A and B are shown apart, each in its own frame.
Chain A
């Protein structure tokens, strides 16, 4: 009895010891800044940056229309920027999914040696700095860049295409950056797909489409959901790609936040926008958590 208790308390101690570094790290570098952002978003902007310590909920009014005072007016443009950020992030998820899903099946059927080589290739881009890689896309997409040169020399187009500084360029850049993040969770899932279930479905007379929709897709869905979330969240807050490849004409909420802090000296407004992004991310994650815990409950039943 006594020994049992000691083992129990040792286990607790070990757990505390193991969990405390990450807890302290998250507490110090995530919760405290988050708290500061929440507080700042309800304060008045200081004339020269910083904040005035007066209660000022009107930063939110400027974005969502309520509450307002004489000085802050509702500007629907902020919601429309947010909606277009949602659109760009969703398109990024869709295109990277379309690339990664078939690729994951292809890689999972390779021999072990080729498989590890391909996985190494997929992580290879991380060895180069992100800015350098985005800059490379700028060089590829510009009118005198490689892609236009190639298209012109094989006679496909007469005039160089205007690809740079457009939504197209932004989505290309985003898909390029986030593809590895989509690939790895999907691959992990596809890798352990039980092919005996696929064969069973074929034996029982299912068409290929039925096999895919009723067996393969549900079994790989957790990987798709995980990859989509990992891509969607950073894509929504991205500001480097739109400012480089979108020429700052395509803008996302991230650009607006950067500008609030560095150009217009309006920290509380930047904080309010950042919390808006955060809230929508939390919603997406909650949705996924609820969905997967329901699925688990169903599985257990």
Chain B
């Protein structure tokens, strides 16, 4: 979801100013993924605390990191993925906001403390998580359960499936299918994953993010996609489906972090508390259709989200989800494999 619209918008970043100009007591500056927060929450917060909230957006962790490192100042809160949270904390770009001492922390699922650097939640607040699975058109594939089925369909109907234009995600599927960890640093394992994707490549229509309209129209039967696609599935349940494949899948999670040198750290901390309120967490999840990290919010969700096996998967399915870790220099092995896949 988060990456869909921002890809479209490309380099343009949208500046959203709330309407509370006249009566503002303070400011708060957010730097988030595109389309990754319910705008109603921003409005509600700015009304309740009389704070001017500005929102800038980015479309990759690297883009955000580059801007923060280049000295972009004035931002208070950022939404890095867990591995980027680790990197930023190591680089000294974050300050401890101590969400674990705030009211509302008891609502946060402690299993969502996925950062290696921040195991107690001293720095950042877990925000949302989601699996990366397959969005499919039920008229073309009535019942999709596995990657195997996905690739078999592609073999019979070349060009009718898409995968993400993302080196870690798509090589990650190769690693899952060849039985390795998605964080493998073993060049032989990565080579096998490369060979697997290479073998499928002639049948894959495209590597792209923006596939929802193509799957809906039936131009593409199935696309590798984020769980945010469930929003469209719920609007169109007879036509669309989303599945976390049986073989396993990757997952992502973003944390909300306070930047070192944030100009409005008090308002930022208020915003973290605001996000932890179950009703706000639930309202946000309705819009994001991502996994919820707020256990108290689960009961407030509409039934179609609460029972959705992609948004709220069973423990057995959760056990098969792998999260990306930062690979440091070994990322180069992946980069090269990906360049070869794209070229040959």
Interface residues of A in 119-145 (CB under 8 A from B): 131, 142-145
Within the complex, the shortest CB–CB distance from B240 to chain A, in Å, comes to: 16
- Which among B62, B87, B328, B340 has the greatest number of chain A C-beta atoms within 10 A? B62
Interface membership of A191, Cβ < 8 A: no
The answer to whether A209 has its CB under 8 Å from any CB of chain B is: no
Those of A225-272 within 8 Å (CB) of chain B = 240, 243, 246-249, 251, 255-256, 259, 261-266
Nearest CB in chain B: distance from A74 CB, A:
12
| Contact flag A165-B206 (CB < 8 Å), given A144-B217, A248-B165, A263-B166 | yes
**A47, B65: Cβ atoms under 8 Å?**
no
A80 proximal to B (CB < 8 A):
yes
A100 within 8 A of B: no
Task: Determine the chain B residues whose CB is within 8 A of the CB of A143 once the complex forms.
Answer: 218-219
Cβ of A194 under 8 Å from chain B: no
Report the bound CA distance from A265 to B66 in whole Å.
9
Q: Kindly identify which residue among A77, A145, A249, A261 contacts B340, using a CB–CB cutoff of 8 Å.
A: A77
B336 within 8 A of A: yes
Q: Cβ of A275 < 8 Å from any Cβ of B?
A: no
Interface of B (DSSP majority class): helix
B63 touching A262 by the CB < 8 A rule? yes
**Structural contact, B219 and A264, CB atoms closer than 8 A:** no
1/0 per residue B155-181: CB within 8 Å of A? 000010010011100000000000000
Which residue of A49, A249, A255, A256 is within 8 Å of B206 (Cβ)?
A249
Residues of B within 8 A of A246 (CB): 206
Interface residues on B, range: 35 or more
Q: How far is A246 from B204 in the complex, measured between Cα atoms in Å? A: 12
**Contacts between the two chains (Cβ within 8 Å), count:** 84
Q: Are the C-beta atoms of B342 and A249 separated by less than 8 Å?
A: yes
Task: Please tell me if the beta carbons of B87 and A48 are within 8 angstroms of each other in the complex.
Answer: yes
Determine whether A50 belongs to the interface, using a CB cutoff of 8 Å to chain B: yes
| A248/B166 in contact, CB under 8 A | no
* B206/A131 in contact, CB under 8 A: no
Q: Is A49 a contact of B65 with CB atoms below 8 Å?
A: yes
Contact of B339 with A47 in the complex, beta carbons under 8 Å: no
Residue contact A247 to B205, C-beta cutoff 8 Å: yes
Chain A residues positioned under 8 Å from B91 (CB to CB): 48
Contacts of A193 on B, CB cut-off 8 Å? none
A281 to B265, CA, bound (A): 49
Determine if A248 and B207 form an interchain contact, defined as CB atoms under 8 angstroms apart.
yes
On chain A, the residues within 8 Å of B332 by CB distance are: 264, 266
In-complex Cβ contact of B159 among A47, A162, A243, A264 (8 A): A162
> Cβ of A164 and Cβ of B219 under 8 Å apart?
yes
Q: Which one of B87, B201, B336, B343 has the highest number of Cβ atoms from chain A below 10 Å of its Cβ?
A: B343
Q: Nearest chain-A residue to B326 (Cβ)?
A: A48
Q: How far is the CB of A50 from chain B (nearest CB, A)?
A: 6
B343-A77 in contact (CB<8A)? yes
Q: Is the CB of B342 within 8 A of A248?
A: yes
Nearest A-chain residue to B88, judged by Cβ:
A48
Taking a contact as CB atoms closer than 8 A, the residue among A47, A165, A251, A256 that contacts B329 in the complex is: A47
Determine which of A81, A144, A240, A265 lies in contact with B343 in the assembled complex, contact meaning CB atoms within 8 Å: A81
In the complex, 18 of the A-B residue pairs with CB atoms within 8 angstroms, ordered by the A residue number, are: A47-B329, A48-B87, A50-B69, A75-B336, A75-B340, A77-B340, A80-B343, A131-B8, A142-B214, A143-B219, A165-B205, A165-B206, A247-B205, A248-B208, A263-B335, A264-B331, A264-B338, A265-B331
- Interface residues, chain B, CB within 8 Å of chain A? 8, 10, 60, 62-63, 65-66, 69, 87, 91, 159, 162, 165-167, 201, 204-208, 214, 217-219, 328-329, 331-332, 334-336, 338-340, 342-344
